[in-house]
A = this chain, B = another copy of it.
Amino acid sequence: MDSLCIKRSLFTLIFPLWKNLKFLRIIFKVFHSFIKPVFSHILKDFPGFTQIHSPYGGYDENYLYSFFILSIFNERKLSTTMKLTFQKDVLLNGINIVLKAVSSKTTMSILGCILIDASGSEIKLTGNDMELGIETKIEGNILERGKIALDAKIFSEIIRKLSSPDAEIHIETDDALNTVISSENSVFKIQGRDSEEFSYLPYIEREHSITLSQFTLREIIRQTLFSISPNDSNKMMTGELFEVHGNELKVVSLDGHRISIRKIILKENYDDVKVIVPGKTLSEISKILNGDNESEVELFFSQNHILFAFDQTIVVSRLIEGEYFRINQMLSGDYETKFTVNKKDFLDCIERATILIRENDKKPLILNILDHSMELKLNSSFGSMNAELSIHKTGKDIMIGFNPKFLIDALRVIDDEEIDLHMMNPKSPCFIRDEDQNYIYLILPVNFNAASV
């Protein structure tokens, strides 16, 4: 206890000096340039360090110094007094991005917070539910540096309802973590949380990466995400395989009844990568990608994490551990029947048929493929539907049954006007794929009572 007391007194003497006197900072800077390589190598796996380490590529030097001093004194304390001003819509935009990683249902209330970190030269907002973390830099004026964690729901609602889009918003904290948010004629006081309680994003080694456009990433997520399993019983099925080989990125999802595969060609060749990304991460990230074909997104892969960097934002997510399913043996190129049909007509027909099905009602949609036409039939306790579409067919006639939902899911995400379906027999999977196999949708058929048709 005594030695801690001495340490504290020493700290209170030296800390203000370091903070205010320029020459002391310069000394540290020189000192740092010598010691940095060794220092960073040693501390890489040091648990406290990664917590105050900036997840942006470089090192935030202010962090490094303060960590250095503080670790000497076995004490970690940064001033929480903070004064910032923002333009409302800029702040709200940033909040909406990091909100995607804020846990709404949690017993740990700190996971329901947003961290405002203005301890460096820029302002960063962070949300982190321990599976998924998002950090974004926003424009604003730092009148006094500091950090604070605020309840995400209250904070975002206050900002959303405060004044007009271009109004100025002031945020000010005191040592007791009281936070005052004010704009024009309204003043809110809420209780903040100590930023030290907040879990920073994990540090990701930036070795293996690929680059693609935000538009493409959002598209491939949309075109595959529907066929992950919503069910946690097989963890692997709740994620998607991201496989990089040469200049090809392949994304796969499956749920036991169907497989969705999208391949895209990257601009360069990259090292091989094979990881399983949680579906929730992909769903959230596709909401914050701006979908622009010009803007790029960089993906970094480490042992246990994936990091997406784009615009002013980084998203870090845990990966799902394990070896993904071997799907290649299921992807045969053989078929006995192939037909081409107008996608929109086909989709409309199936959607209409599902009017007669309630959830959990396992009624198959039966396709009767003839030479120039396809009959669609569905019977349920509510009634029956019959429809007919014209097709171009090669190969044998076939009658085959499907869960209509699986066809609908695949057809909805295909952008082609005409699509090709390949079938072997009524027991074997059906493939919807384009010529270059940029997309492959495998769907298992279902049994049906031929007599009832």
Contact surface of A with B, Cβ cutoff 8 Å: 151, 154, 157-158, 161-162, 185-191, 348-349, 351-352, 355-356, 382-389
CA distance A162 to B386 in the complex (A): 13
B190 near A352: Cβ-Cβ < 8 Å: no
Instruction: Check B384–A161 contact: CB distance below 8 A.
Output: no
A154 in complex: contacting residue of B187, B351, B355, B387, CB < 8 Å = B355
**CB pair B186 A387 closer than 8 Å:** yes
Chain B hits for A158, CB < 8 A: 352, 355
- Additional 10 contacts, C-beta under 8 A, given A158-B352, A158-B355, A186-B349: A151-B382, A162-B352, A185-B349, A186-B352, A186-B385, A186-B386, A188-B383, A189-B385, A189-B386, A190-B356
| Known A-B contacts A154-B356, A388-B185; A351 and B161 likewise in contact (beta carbons under 8 Å) | yes
A54 to B351, CA, bound (A): 38
Q: Is the CB of B161 within 8 A of A355?
A: yes
A387 touches B185 (CB 8 A): yes
Interfacial chain B residues near A382, Cβ < 8 Å: 151, 154, 190-191
**30 pairs from A and B in contact (CB 8 Å cutoff):** A154-B355, A154-B356, A154-B383, A158-B355, A161-B348, A161-B351, A161-B352, A161-B355, A162-B352, A185-B349, A185-B387, A185-B388, A186-B349, A186-B352, A186-B385, A186-B386, A186-B387, A187-B385, A187-B386, A187-B387, A188-B352, A188-B356, A188-B383, A188-B384, A188-B385, A189-B383, A189-B384, A190-B356, A191-B382, A191-B383
Chain B residue at minimal CB-CB distance from A387: B186
- Asked if A383 contacts B185 (CB within 8 A), the reply is no
Smallest Cβ-Cβ distance to A377: which chain B residue:
B187
Contact, CB under 8 Å: B351 / A185: no
**A381 nearest CB neighbor, chain B only:** B191
- Within 8 Å CB of A161, what residues of B? 348, 351-352, 355
Closest to A156 in B: B355
CA distance A185 to B344 in the complex (A): 14
- For the complex, give the distance between the alpha carbons of A154 and B355 in Å: 7
Specify which chain B residues have a CB less than 8 angstroms from the CB of A157 in the assembled complex: 355
Closest Cβ neighbor of A161 among chain B residues:
B352
**Across-interface contacts of A387 in B (CB, < 8 A):** 185-187
Contacts of A190 in B (CB 8 A): 356, 382-384
For the complex, what is the distance from the CA of A355 to the CA of B348, rounded to whole Å? 43
* Complex interface: chain B residues within 8 A of A355 (CB): 154, 157-158, 161, 188
C-alpha spacing A189/B191, complex, angstroms? 62
A265 to B388, CA, bound (A): 59
Q: State A356–B181 Cα separation when bound (angstroms).
A: 13
* Bound form: Cα–Cα A327–B253 in Å: 65
Residue in B closest to A390 when the chains form the complex, CB atoms: B185
Knowing A161-B355, A191-B383, A351-B161, say if A185 contacts B389 (CB, 8 Å): yes
* Most chain B CB atoms below 10 A, which of A154, A352, A356, A387: A352
Nearest to A150 among chain B residues (CB) is B383
Residues of B within 8 A of A389 (CB): 185
Alpha-carbon separation in the docked complex, A154 to B384 (Å): 11
Q: Which residues of B contact A154 (CB under 8 A)?
A: 355-356, 382-383
> In whole angstroms, how far apart are the Cα atoms of A392 and B332 in the complex?
81
Nearest-Cβ distance from residue A442 to partner chain B, whole angstroms:
27
Q: Which residues of B contact A385 (CB under 8 A)?
A: 186-189
Q: How many Å from the CB of A86 to the closest CB on chain B?
A: 17
Q: In the complex the two chains form, what is the Cα distance from A154 to B361 in whole Å?
A: 15
Question: In the complex, A389→B186 CA distance in Å?
Answer: 9
Point out the residues of chain B lying under 8 angstroms from A187, CB to CB. 385-387
Chain B: minimal CB distance from A192 (Å): 10
Contacts of A351 in B (CB 8 A): 161
